[in-house]
Each structure stands twice: as C-alpha cells, then as structure tokens.
Amino acid sequence: MSISASTRGAGQGRLAGKTAVIMGASDERSMGYATARRFRAEGANVIIAARRQEAIEALAHRIGARAVPCDIVNEDSLSALAQVALDDFGRLDCAVNYAGIEVQSSILDITAEELRRSSDVHFVGTALFIKHMARAMAQGGSILTASSLTVLAQAPGHAAYAGAKGGADIVVRVAANELGEKGIRVNSIAPGFTKSAMTEAYFEMEAIRRAFLKEMPLGRFPTVEDIAEVALWLSSDEAFVTGQCIDVTAGQALRRVPLASEFA
C-alpha cells in the first residue's frame, strides 16, 4: 500500500498505536476521507468503510488504510466491520460515522418514505453504529458521529434530515452516559455549510455562497480539513469530553440559515 508523504510512521503521532474505523469515506472530497488522511498522518491504523467497495479500496490504497464495504442500515454489516478491526489489528479505539444522505422537503409535502429513509440512515444507523463499535472497544475509546448545522439553526425543508440528526444527538448523550464507565466517550460534530461531495453543487452558485457566508461570524466557510481536526482532537487522549455536540459551523449556529428566497 502507498502512504502519502505526510503520513507519519506507525509509532509516531497523536493516535499512534490506535485503530480507527471511519464510516462514510468513499469520496476524496468527503469529510470521511479527510478524517482518514488526518488519522493516518497521526499514526493510526485506519479502516475506511462505505457501501461502494471499489471507491473505498482505491482511496484506502492511497493512504495505506484498510477498506471494508459496509452499509450502515445493515446491522450484520456493522458487526462485521467492527470484527475486522479486532481481527486485523487486535483492537478498536476510535470510530467516526459520517454516513449520510440528503433529504429535503417542505413539511407540507414530506412523505413517510422520506422520513423513514432519513431515519434509517441518520438515526437508526447511527444508534447501531454506536452499539457495534462500543462492543468492540475493550480498552475504551472514542465514538463520533456527524450532526448538522440544521439541528442547531433550523432550516426550512429539513424536517426529515434535521429531525433524524437531532434524534441521533440524543442517542449520543444517552450512549455517553451509559458507556462512560467503560471508558468510552461518545460525541457528535455539527459541521457548518462545508464544501464536500454532498454539497459541492451548491458551492457553484454564487448567491448561495454569499447568503451563507454573511451568516458566519468567522468570515469563511468550514472545510473538510477543519472537521477532520476536530475529529482528531475528540478521538485523541487529549479530549476529556463526552456527550457533547461540537459546533464547527464558523459561528453560523449563532445566527440563522438563509431562506431560499435569498438565493435569487
């Protein structure tokens, strides 16, 4: 396997000796892949997972990681993913879930199918991810999942998406309470409007970029690398933190999400 020049040796770095599973890393533009690169650079053994086997195998090869196909809505698949960490590396210390789908519909038009689809991935999938990763963490560890700006600053059209993500944030708090005695920390990260594989098309529209940037006190968009840095800190031994949703929205959660009428 080839490893990028920035990747440190296995005995160095803030995650040296640790094994990490990163779910939702099948695109080089994604938060998942940015986090996988960052974790490898800090010495972790990394397993990247997603549904698209060919895509994750290619990306894993670039950074010297292990690729495991996994569907977050399939409990057997999640159990098998955790077992790979134990079989290949003897332990699991860090698990990060970025799996997600885009679901937008007004409350007047929303369908039961849209609600179930979002819930299956963002709520049920997250809860089962936490379950199976925690079961494999015999030495304690860190579990992270992606929340959303739309949970912190409600946006029209996001009832299915934000509702499921918000429910998952409650699961995070409950899990943190239950798993603390096992030395397992559970947190979520709420990214702001970040250019990634899921949002890239929106960044092509100047009106949307301008409307969002106006609501960011820090004056620039978050990047996938910003998200990866927060994931690294929360997964390292430096973070004595659990049951929290960490806001990485460039301060936009202090303000508002623009309305579609402002994009004209």
Cβ-based neighbours of 5, under 8 Å, separated by 6 or more: none
DSSP three-state, residue 187: strand
DSSP designation for 72: T
Q: Which of 33, 98, 161, 202 is catalytic?
A: 161
Phi, psi of 51 (to 5 degrees): -75, -30
The full DSSP string for 4-27 is -TTPPPTT-STTTT-EEEEES--S
161 is catalytic: yes
3-state secondary structure of 55: helix
Cα R_g (the chain), whole angstroms? 18
**CA–CA distance, 111 with 127 (Å, rounded to integer):** 23
Contact 161, 264 (CB under 8 A): no
- Count the helix, strand and coil residues of the chain and give each as a percent rounded to the nearest 5: 45, 15, 40
**Annotated catalytic sites, by residue?**
161
